[in-house]
Amino acid sequence: MLKTLQTIALLLIANVVAFSQPSVQQIINNPALKHASVGISVVDLSTGQNVVSHDAEKSLTPASVLKLFTTATAIEALGDNFRYRTDVALDANDPTRILIIGSGDPTLGSEVFKESKDRFFNDSRQLLEKSLAKDKEYSIYVVDNLFGYDGVSPEWTWIDMGNYYAPGAYGISVFDNTYKLFFNTVNKNDGAQILRTDPEIKGLTFRNELKLNNSGRDNGYIYGAPFSYDRSVRGDIPGGRSSFSIKGDIPDPGLLLGETLADNLRRNGFKISDVKTSREDYISGVLATGKTSSYRVGQVLFTQVSRPLKEIIREINVESNNHYAEHLIRTVGRQYKTDIYDNALMAGVDYVTDYWKRKGIDITSLTMYDGSGLAPQNAVSPRLLTDMLSYMYNKSSYSAAFIDSLPKAGQDGTLRNFMTNTKYNSKIIAKSGSIGGVQCHAGYLIDGDKKYAFSIMINKYNGTRAQVRGAIEQFLLSL
């Protein structure tokens, strides 16, 4: 009888190996992945047992899959109904100075939630009209120092900075910290002629090195450092267009917000003499022995409140919004270390590692340089991702809100064209991540009693991105 049971057990083990191992071999032997590093972790959410594991402890570049750590940590630390507040107040030291006090809200004037981008300015002006006399002269002081002014990660590459997908994150954000640069490309002999920016940004200049193409593809990029108003435009854009636009990041969002409000007030009869941000005072405070504020908040005239955090993290994960993610990691950091002279990004990274360590999760494979995954030096192991995903599914008080923040395969966001017309269409809920040479997917496979957390990370592949995505799809279909 014992021998019979042993024989049955060996057959069961052999069947499991026969079922899972070929699927792993299939992906790692794919010609498109011949020179790639591949890490895979699949865990049964009900039992905690490994279903598939291949180099699961290896630290690999995650790209936007890192946003899972940013959003999971934020919702754990702040709660799903956390909201940003932006106050418009009078300076108690000088009642002719209007203060705009930022809390790091990335949604002011944002196009994401289909609201009017001018809502903040119109509502502020209407309430200021009720409280202020128009026969006096006022100034505007924008307090955008909450995160300091290191708005980009020091590990981001020059090819990214200045472009819309790599905007700086500061205590004030406006219009997604993004502008559009419009061109006329009708005449090939004249090349790409710059028309305007939307919104208008005073003092912004461009060195135009753009070429025209016949492919219809947008290969135009804007380069520039934070707070620099000198930008370079390179690459190529479609010819034959009377109006074609590419997007870049606003150099100084706080100043643009202040100037936009000032223009709104002037059009309605107010005298606004001066617009400044707290940047110069902040820099002076760094160099000075005493860190004193140059203002004192008096009467608050208007407060704009953001959408709840659960909606913000859904935007981050469904649309892979770098801008929102960078604000969120700094928000967590500033909650952790409240001194505005502490680096908010590094404080956020410290909080992420400390938080998951306290939960008993081994985070030694995690290297984090931002909240969005844009830095190529970021690293995490597939096992750590599935450990965190398992915690969020089984133990988090915000499990439902976190899972709802992820796109469904074949349905929405960055997974709209993933796993379509397959048995797992809409049954895979996950985050994808891709930068040069990197393709990763991590999330959940929920199909009846089959409930898995999975992470598939591929670095330095030699095939096309479409081939790599296809290999990942085939592996998931084999589960």
* DSSP string computed for 51-70: EEEESTT--B--GGGGHHHH
- Same domain as 250, residue 111: yes
Residue 34 lies in a domain: yes
Residue 261's φ and ψ, nearest 5 degrees, are: -65, -40
pTM for this entry: 0.92
Residue that has been written with the tokens 């790091």 in this structure: 104
**Per-residue pLDDT, 9:** 46
Indicate the residue among 276, 305, 334 that finishes a domain.
Answer: 305
Percent of the chain with pLDDT over 70: 94
- Same domain as 471, residue 361: yes
- Same domain as 362, residue 341: yes
* Dist. CA 437–CA 130, nearest whole Å: 56
The CATH code of the domain that includes 430 is 3.40.710.10
**Per-residue pLDDT, 26:** 87
Residue 444 lies in a domain: yes
Residue 12 lies in a domain: no
* Dist. CA 383–CA 362, nearest whole Å: 9
Residue 287 lies in a domain: yes
* Dist. CA 397–CA 78, nearest whole Å: 12
Q: CA nearest 257: which of 129, 161, 170, 133?
A: 170
Q: CA nearest 223: which of 241, 239, 210, 213?
A: 210
pLDDT at 149 over 80: yes
Q: Which residues contact 201 (CB under 8 A, 6 or more apart)?
A: 179, 229, 250, 251, 256
User: pLDDT tens digits, residue range 93-113?
Assistant: 999 999 999 999 999 999 899
Q: CA 185, 187, 192 angle in degrees (round to 5)?
A: 35
- Same domain as 135, residue 76: no
In the sheet with 428-435, reading across from the earlier edge strand, the strands are 50-54, 37-44, 450-459, 438-447, 428-435
Indicate the residue among 266, 286, 305 that finishes a domain.
Answer: 305
User: pLDDT tens digits, residue range 174-203?
Assistant: 999 999 999 999 998 889 999 999 999 999
Q: What is the sign, positive or negative, of the torsion defined by CA atoms of 229, 233, 237, 241?
A: positive
Average pLDDT over every residue of 324-331:
98
Average pLDDT over every residue of 218-247:
95
Q: Are strands 297-305 and 428-435 parallel, antiparallel or unpaired?
A: unpaired
Residue 388 lies in a domain: yes
Cβ atoms of 23 and 475 closer than 8 Å: yes
Output the CA–CA distances (angstroms, integers) from residue 146 to 169, 282, 287, 467, in the order listed.
Answer: 10, 10, 17, 44
- Same domain as 435, residue 327: yes
As for how many domains the chain has, the answer is 2
**Per-residue pLDDT, 415:** 94
Residue 412 lies in a domain: yes
- Same domain as 315, residue 244: no
Range of the domain at 218: 85-305
CA 36 to chain CA centroid, nearest Å: 26
- Same domain as 287, residue 153: yes
Residue that has been written with the tokens 């952790």 in this structure: 336
Q: Which amino acid does the sequence have at 308? A: P
pLDDT at 290 over 50: yes
User: pLDDT tens digits, residue range 385-407?
Assistant: 999 999 999 999 999 999 999 99
- Same domain as 347, residue 232: no
Mean pLDDT of the chain: 92
- Same domain as 154, residue 125: yes
pLDDT at 15 over 80: no
**Per-residue pLDDT, 14:** 39
**Per-residue pLDDT, 188:** 86
- Same domain as 183, residue 50: no
* Dist. CA 166–CA 373, nearest whole Å: 11
Indicate the residue among 305, 337, 355 that finishes a domain.
Answer: 305
pLDDT band at 294 (very low <50, low <70, confident <90, very high): confident
pLDDT band at 16 (very low <50, low <70, confident <90, very high): very low
DSSP 367: B
* Dist. CA 324–CA 327, nearest whole Å: 5
**Per-residue pLDDT, 286:** 65
Average pLDDT over every residue of 332-348:
96
**Per-residue pLDDT, 291:** 57
Output the CA–CA distances (angstroms, integers) from residue 19 to 22, 392, 453, 479, in the order listed.
Answer: 7, 28, 18, 8
Count of Cβ atoms closer than 10 Å to residue 8 Cβ: 10
User: pLDDT tens digits, residue range 413-441?
Assistant: 999 999 999 999 999 999 999 999 999 99
pLDDT band at 460 (very low <50, low <70, confident <90, very high): very high
Average pLDDT over every residue of 291-320:
92
**Per-residue pLDDT, 342:** 95
- Same domain as 283, residue 422: no
User: pLDDT tens digits, residue range 55-75?
Assistant: 999 999 999 999 999 999 999
Strand residue runs (E) in 314-436? 428-435
Residue 15 lies in a domain: no
pLDDT at 377 over 90: yes
Cβ atoms of 444 and 406 closer than 8 Å: yes
3-state secondary structure at position 193:
strand
Residue 95 lies in a domain: yes
Pick the residue with more confidence: 253 or 114?
253
Residue that has been written with the tokens 């289909």 in this structure: 114
* Dist. CA 315–CA 406, nearest whole Å: 9
Q: CA nearest 275: which of 294, 256, 293, 292?
A: 256
**Per-residue pLDDT, 12:** 44
CA 284 to chain CA centroid, nearest Å: 30
- Same domain as 328, residue 253: no
